[in-house]
Amino acid sequence: MKFKGKIALWFWIIFLGGESLILYKMAESIFSGHDTEDIIVLAISFVIYTLVFLPIVARNYVLIEDGKLKLFFGFSTDVIDISEIKEIRSTCSPIASSAASLDRLVIKGRRQEMIVSVKDKQKFLEELKKRM
């Protein structure tokens, strides 16, 4: 079963705000006759910025199948056996994690820990408990 990842408003503001700022500066440079090098640097910055944030928005979900919990977040993938899960708790901790929202769940296994943020947390927890 697939659960869509939660993306908070602050994440969208950072993503779209950053892109808008770079595009604004690029347009300003073009219309004010700045050096071509400035425009190229801004264009490269835009591409890099998009390559960092877009995968997080496009590939942000959790999959429960075949006795495993699989997290897909941007370029990364993490897997934990459901049978190894020892603890699940809510957290709002802003530590770096694979979640684009502060409404997170910490899932602790025997050997690893995973932090996820899903849109339908209640349904996710119910499905996970059914399979434990």
- What pLDDT shows up at residue 99? 78
CA torsion, points 56, 58, 62, 63, in degrees to nearest 10? Answer: -140
Q: Measured between alpha carbons, how far is 21 from 4 in angstroms, rounded to an integer? A: 28
pLDDT over 70 (residue 22): yes
Which residue type, as a one-letter code, is found at position 14?
I
Q: If you average pLDDT over residues 6-24, what whole number do you get?
A: 95
- What pLDDT shows up at residue 131? 85
